[in-house]
Structure formats: structure tokens, C-alpha cells
Amino acid sequence: MMVSRSAKPVVLYLTRELYVTFFLLIGVSLVVFAVLYSAPGDPLAAVFGGQVLSDAQREEMMRNLGISNTWYGQYWSWLVKLFNGDFGTSLRSGQPVLGEVTKLAKNTFYLTFGAMFFSLMIALPIAIYLAKRGTDRLGWVLMMFAYTTSAVPLFWSAYIVIYIYTRFFNTLPIGLATGESMNFTQMMLPVFMLGLGSGIISETVRFLRDEISRVFSEDYVRTARAKGVSVWKHALTEALIIPVSEMIASKIPFVIGGAIIVEQIFNWPGIGRMAWQAAQDRDYPVIMCITLVTALIVRLTSLLQKTLYVIVNPRASQETKTS
């Protein structure tokens, strides 16, 4: 219930977070730049103007583009280029990278967040069960299941699922990229596999279980019980909304990582598959762009989580003021 709460600290908090996000993204770009700058084979030159074959060619190209020789000069030119939306052209297809990546990023977005949803759908009931009942026999089985999902190589279990699927339906559940129409199960299978196999379930279960049992032993939850009102209503914010959103924000990189594999196996046209292709072809502009875009997604998710946190937690803005 956010009745007539002064909006000012919230705005202040979010402005601060926005600044932080901005500086983090600068840091992210520095890391990517450092990798490109220090690598052999002129990846940086590839980003600036396409493949070069010799040092002399490179020198000439840089001179023509008016880019200085110092690393900070190159970084600056590179950053300006990025801010203009120019991530270079793909060495493979010759197309501007950003357009291609954003086109496919949508598919990866559906896959990752769908998988995240599935993971939570599996992890949440287990966590609640373990928190409420402790590790009894069923709880132990559930816990072991959660661990096992994180211990099996994702691509192997995906292969097994595909194998079983083909046995039953006599058709492959793959081929979105080939433009064939797919039915619902075929669409859902990759999402489900990623949700199950990205390895975040066991950690999510443990984290949520601990949070839920901690919150349920809080004094204010006992007060709610003493009042005879709904306990879950009182515990909801701290036991579920905050930890779940934290979990989503901190685990999204892992799911994106898993998406590379799932996209590969199921022929899902996303940036994960594209990144793999680019890494094989040494298509520097593409892999650079994808790294930056995924880091951006991670930071934005984190920003969203912070926003949600400050909205549901009236103390949050207070905390930052004192710290």
C-alpha cells in the first residue's frame, strides 16, 4: 500500500541507480575494448573498417579514418562509433551488425525469459515445500531433483529429449530457422529444456528456501498470525517478490549462456547461435556487438529489479539516504 508516500527519495534513488548503470556500461565497454585491443589478428580494425591483411593496410585505414594510435584515442573513436549506433559490418554477411543482432535478439529474449519463467515454476514450489515442511522424504527427492538438473550437461539432456520426441512424433522438434512452421510443443520444447537445464534451479531452490524460512520466522509474520490474517499476504513481499526478482536479475546471464547451446541444438534463430557462428568465423564485430547487447540486457534487468525493490520496499529509499 503506497498511499501518499513522498515520491522524492524514490526518484533520488532511481536517478542514482541510473548513474550507476551508466558507469557500469562504460566499464563493460572498456572490458570489451580491452579484449579487442589486446588480441592478435586486428579485431579492432575489423570493427572499424573491415578485414585487414597487413599492418601497413591497418595503418593506412586508421589514418584515413582519422583514428589516433594511442589506445585511449582508439577507445574514444570506438565509443563514439558505438553511440552513433555503428557497430561495424559483419565480416561474413557484409551487413551492419546492429540491425542483424537486434532482429535476432528478440527471439533470444523470448527464449531466455520463457526459460526463466519455467525455472521459477519448477523451483518455487520446491522451495516453498522445503521451507514449510523441511527436508522430509519427498523434500529430499525434490532437492535431489533440483541438484541433478544442475549437474547434467544441458546439451546431452536436450539430445535425449529430442530423441524421445522423435520416437513419439516421428519428426524433429527443431527447425525454426528454416522457416518451417512449428507447433506449440515444438516451440515450447527449447524453452522448457533451457529452463530445466540452465543450471539455475538448484541455486534458486536453495536461495528461495532460505529466504522463505527466514521471513516466516520474522517477528512481523508471527504478528500477522496472531492477528488471524493471511500470513502469505504479509510475507509475500519479503519472502517472494524481492528474492524472486533478485534471483531473476542475478541469474539471467546464466540463462543467456545456456541459450547459446539450446539455440544451437534446436536451431532457434537467436543471438546465441549467431554468437557461436561469429566465434567460429572470427566475425569480430558480431561477437562484440552481442557481448555488449547481452551485457546491456543484464544491466537493464538489474535496473528493473532495483526499481521494483524500491517500489515494494518503503525502507529502500531510506537505506540509501543513511548510507
Asked if 135 interacts with another protein (CB under 8 A), we say yes
Sign of CA pseudo-dihedral 276, 277, 278, 279: positive
Question: In 10 A of CB 170, how many CB atoms?
Answer: 7
The amino acid at residue 273 is R
Q: Which residues neighbour 103 within 8 Å (Cβ) at sequence distance 6 or greater?
A: none
- Given a contact cutoff of 8 angstroms between Cβ atoms, the answer to whether 86 and 98 are in contact is yes
Asked if 67 interacts with another protein (CB under 8 A), we say no
- Phi and psi (nearest 5°) for 113? -75, -30
Cβ closest to another protein, residue 39 vs residue 63: 39
Q: Please, which of residues 220-239 interact with another protein by CB under 8 A?
A: 220, 222-229, 234, 237-238
Q: Please, which of residues 177-196 interact with another protein by CB under 8 A?
A: none
d(CA 93, CA 221): 59
Among 49, 124, 312, 320, binds another protein (CB under 8 A): 312
Q: Please, which of residues 150-179 interact with another protein by CB under 8 A?
A: 150-156, 159-160, 162-163, 166
Q: Closest distance between another protein and the C-beta of residue 182, in Å?
A: 18
- Single out the segment in contact with another protein by CB under 8 A; choices: 29-37, 56-64, 75-83, 183-191: 29-37
- Given a contact cutoff of 8 angstroms between Cβ atoms, the answer to whether 150 and 257 are in contact is no
Cβ closest to another protein, residue 23 vs residue 71: 23
- Single out the segment in contact with another protein by CB under 8 A; choices: 57-65, 118-126, 128-136, 188-196: 128-136
Among 8, 40, 53, 69, binds another protein (CB under 8 A): 40
Cβ closest to another protein, residue 80 vs residue 160: 160
Q: Closest distance between another protein and the C-beta of residue 236, in Å?
A: 8
Q: Closest distance between another protein and the C-beta of residue 65, in Å?
A: 21
The amino acid at residue 297 is I
- Phi and psi (nearest 5°) for 295? -60, -40
Question: In 10 A of CB 101, how many CB atoms?
Answer: 24
Cβ closest to another protein, residue 30 vs residue 65: 30
Comparing C-alpha atoms, which of 288, 251, 306 is closest to residue 28? 288
